[in-house]
Structure formats: structure tokens, C-alpha cells
Amino acid sequence: MLTRIVKMHFRTDEVGTFLNHFDVNKNQIRHFTGCKGLILYRDINFPNVFFTYSFWENEAALENYRKSELFNQVWSYTKALFEDKPQAWSLSEFKKVD
């Protein structure tokens, strides 16, 4: 399993636009082949900073999504709303904590 975290910093006046766009596309992303889940988080101190956590079967599944028309459509719209450059991390579970 692979977890993809993307940090996005939006222009304050575009937060509503982003949230609407996310709502329209979240189910398609969640049901993309190899996607095991999608969560949207909002920073409690900076309300125009959001994080997506998406969970993928493996790196190949994530790459298939990133090469898809769905990703191109969602990302090209979303990145026009940014105030700052996004950051992204791909993580694998290292160790369970008891």
C-alpha cells in the first residue's frame, strides 16, 4: 500500500472554488482503479491550506492515475487556484506502532 500526501495552499478567495471542484471529482478519484481511499484535511491554523491523503494499491496504480485524463482535468483546474507551490510525498508504511 502506498499513501500519497499532497499539500495545497490556495488563494483565500479560491477556497470555495476548490471545495466545489473537489466535491464534483472526489468519487471518480476514489473509484479509480487501484485507489483504496481519499481523505481531505484542512489546516486548523491556516484555513486556505489543505492536504489530500490518497491510498493506492501500489506505485503503479498511482502512476496510472497520474497519467490519466481524470488527473489531467482535475489537476489543471486545481493548480490555477494555488497561492503557493504544492508539495507532495509518496509514503509506504514503515513500522506499526504498538
CATH number at residue 49: 3.30.70.100
Q: For residue 97, is it within any domain?
A: no
DSSP secondary structure, 74-88, as one string: HHHHHHTTEEEEEEE
pTM: 0.92
Residue in 10, 7, 19 with CA at minimum distance from that of residue 51: 7
Domains of the chain: total:
1
The CA distance from 21 to 32, in Å, is 17
Residue 95 has pLDDT above 90, yes or no: no
Query: pLDDT digits over 15-62, tens only?
Result: 999 999 999 999 999 999 999 999 999 999 999 999 999 999 999 999
Q: For residue 44, is it within any domain?
A: yes
Q: For residue 86, is it within any domain?
A: yes
Domain containing 10: what range? 2-92
Q: For residue 29, is it within any domain?
A: yes
pLDDT at 96: 76
The CA distance from 81 to 78, in Å, is 6
Q: For residue 98, is it within any domain?
A: no
